Amino acid sequence: MALAKRIIPCLDVDNGRVVKGVQFLDIRDAGDPVEIAKRYNQEGADEITFLDITATHEGRATTVHTVEKIASEVFIPLTVGGGIRTVDDIRTMLNAGADKVGINSAAVFNPDFVKAASDRFGAQCIVVAIDAKKVSLAGEAARWEIFTHGGRKPTGINAVEWAIKMAEFGAGEILLTSMDGDGTKKGYDLGVTRAISDAVPVPVIASGGVGNLQHLVDGVTEGRADAVLAASIFHFREYTVPQAKEFMRARGIEVRL
Amino acid sequence: MTIGKQTVAVIDYGMGNLHSVASALSHVAPEQNVVVTSDPAVVAAADRVVFPGVGAIRDCMAEIKRLGFDKLLREQIATGKPVLGICVGMQALMDHSEENGGVDCIGILSGKVRFFGENHTDSTGAHLKVPHMGWNQVHHNDHPLWVGIEQDSRFYFVHSFYILADDASQVAATCDYGVQFHAALTRGNLFAVQFHPEKSHTAGLQLLKNFLHWDGRN
């Protein structure tokens, strides 16, 4: 008996539609978020992550309604990230039915925001999302940095040190996205996943680059992640959640079937 | 003769989001009236009471005491109506918690709330993450709230502190995370769970359904 490794389908949502880009470009429409979330729930997903990439203010109101609809029909944990900048943003999403919120750029600009959020709402609902990119050259010791603005802006911050700091500031969980891998289907960056998983006391979700089921296994066994997140392999029905779980179970990983 | 709608009151003491508890209860029993309330009169008039909770125990206990909900809970339990504690709501029912440097709790159930620890490991010495977050197996006893739930089903947990009750006869379920802890306790018409049934998919919804049809007897 042990804690199961979690499989988390991720919905990237823009103006009320699920989309998926390749390295934040070339966005493909993947459908209605409520319908997709219900399907994942029925298939036995362990959680759902909803990433709002809507840029406009009007679009944000749509997001709140979508979260409300999902939360009233899906009885597994729901994380909402994207554009969370204030305590009010967090309250709005929790009241809409989110169980956790993902904080990304706002944490980089103001790390104390994570502290304030964790004190106010509890570490259990504060997920700090980290977008990391490898900056070391071939032959150098591996080094990763935090990037903001969808991977466009370097910050000079060491990703592993940042993850440790965020856990100390009250993050209950780290959502680690490898910007090199995101959308490429070449698999997670296992180096940074393992470095952060080993460095922080809180659970780590691996994200960015899943193209097949072996990548999920690698994220857990080599990356030592507690949970694995994927988007397009599930949206476009290349694989179902039960197939993913069966595949992982057959390779000795404890999953919830 | 018309029988009125049964009512379940979800006690709101300002600690966290009660939306998911309320919506899961409505989902499994659309014929019942689910109210989220901080009004003691509404709680007293309800047929059943749910006592949830998230966040730090010090803040939870401060609000519970300020609002007089410790007394209210004792009174409600004494009426014999079914009462369900969830997560920090369960921890608040115990004598004492180690969290926040040590906090006295309501003391309706006898036992301690302990920290998993900074360097928590399993029996093989492998490091275990804290909080205990995710789906773990729950080994349950024979109680009406487990009807229709397979032995060792997985439920969703999020907590850094765990409960060990003093009275083994009150243990309704155990869970293993480096240490074996009490995942559910019961005494008469009171039932309490460490996991989140409202987030535990089929098994969790079944437990809530069982609670909403429970008469408070073993």
- Whole-number Cα distances in Å, B3 to B8, B25, B80, B105, B214: 15, 20, 20, 38, 17
Which of A3, A71, A97 has its CB closest to that of B136? A3
The pLDDT assigned to B123 comes to: 85
Q: Is the Cβ pair B19, A96 closer than 8 Å? A: yes
Write out the residues of chain A at the interface with chain B, using a CB-CB cutoff of 8 A: 1-6, 41, 44, 46, 71-73, 75-77, 94-99, 121-125, 172-173, 201-203, 226-227, 256
The pLDDT assigned to B2 comes to: 45
The pLDDT assigned to A11 comes to: 93
How would you write the pLDDT of chain A (257 residues) with one tens digit per residue?
589 999 999 998 888 888 875 544 555 677 899 999 999 999 999 999 999 987 676 777 888 999 999 999 999 999 999 989 999 999 899 888 899 999 998 999 999 999 999 988 888 899 999 999 999 998 999 999 999 877 788 899 999 999 999 999 999 999 999 988 777 789 999 999 999 999 999 999 999 999 999 999 999 999 999 999 998 899 888 899 999 999 999 999 999 99
Q: Is the Cβ pair B134, A201 closer than 8 Å? A: no
Which of A3, A75, A122 has its CB closest to that of B54? A122
The pair of structure tokens assigned to A219 is 């994220």
Tell me if ipTM is over 0.90.
yes
Q: What residues of A are in contact with residue B178 (Cβ under 8 Å)?
A: none
The pLDDT assigned to A28 comes to: 67
Q: Is the Cβ pair B134, A226 closer than 8 Å? A: yes
Best residue of B158, B174, B198 to probe chain A, by most A CBs closer than 10 Å? B158
Q: Is the Cβ pair B134, A124 closer than 8 Å? A: no
Q: Quote the DSSP letter at residue A142.
A: P
Cα–Cα dist B171/B211, whole Å = 17
Task: Look at the block and give the residue holding tokens 């409300």.
Answer: A68
Cβ-Cβ pairs closer than 8 A, A with B, add up to: 99
Active site residues of A: 12, 131
Residues in chain B: 218
* pLDDT, average across residues B127-145: 95
Select from A165, A157, A111, A169 the least CA-distant residue to A131: A157
The pLDDT assigned to B119 comes to: 84
What b/e string do you get for B200-218 counting C-beta neighbours within 10 Å, with b at 16 or more? Answer: bbbbbbbbbbbbbbbebee
Helix (H/G/I), strand (E/B), else coil: A166: helix
Look at residue B212 and tell me whether its pLDDT is greater than 90: yes
Could you give the maximum distance between any two Cα atoms of chain B, in Å? 63
Report how far apart the first and last C-alpha atoms of chain B are (Å, whole number): 29
Q: Is the Cβ pair A172, B131 closer than 8 Å? A: yes
